[in-house]
């Protein structure tokens, strides 16, 4: 499994402040990732789509099934799809 990208020192000044992913779902991913020795930056996951996609791609390649499933659900949310099995997921 590839390591997650490092968190930024500060978010880019021009970064949009739109919440991309529900906080509770990002926290679920964070704890699953920590269980396999990976760490992610929660706020950046919610506001930086490039970082979020990099983290999710690495998590989808993980040997841990629950981490892969959670990353796949979050990827669907990030892509604009509904995912009712993720707390806070948008309805279709």
pLDDT tens for 21-34 read 889 999 999 999 99
**Residue that wins the pLDDT comparison between 5 and 83:** 5
Spell out the domain ranges in the chain. 23-78
CA distances from 62 to 4, 9, 14, 18, 32 (A): 11, 26, 32, 28, 10
Residue 11 · residue 47 · CB < 8 Å: yes
pLDDT tens for 8-18 read 556 566 655 56
- Residues 84-90 have a mean pLDDT of 48
The pTM for the full model equals 0.70
Other CB atoms within 10 Å distance of the CB of residue 10:
7
């Amino acid at each position: 499994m590839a390591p997650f990208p490092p968190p930024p020192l500060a978010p880019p000044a021009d970064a949009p402040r739109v919440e991309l992913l529900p906080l509770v779902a990002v926290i679920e991913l964070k704890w699953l990732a920590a269980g396999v020795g990976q760490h992610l930056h929660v706020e950046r996951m919610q506001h930086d789509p490039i970082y979020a996609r990099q983290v999710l791609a690495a998590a989808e390649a993980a040997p841990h099934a629950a981490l892969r499933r959670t990353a796949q659900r979050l990827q669907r949310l990030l892509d604009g799809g509904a995912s009712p099995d993720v707390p806070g997921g948008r309805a279709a």
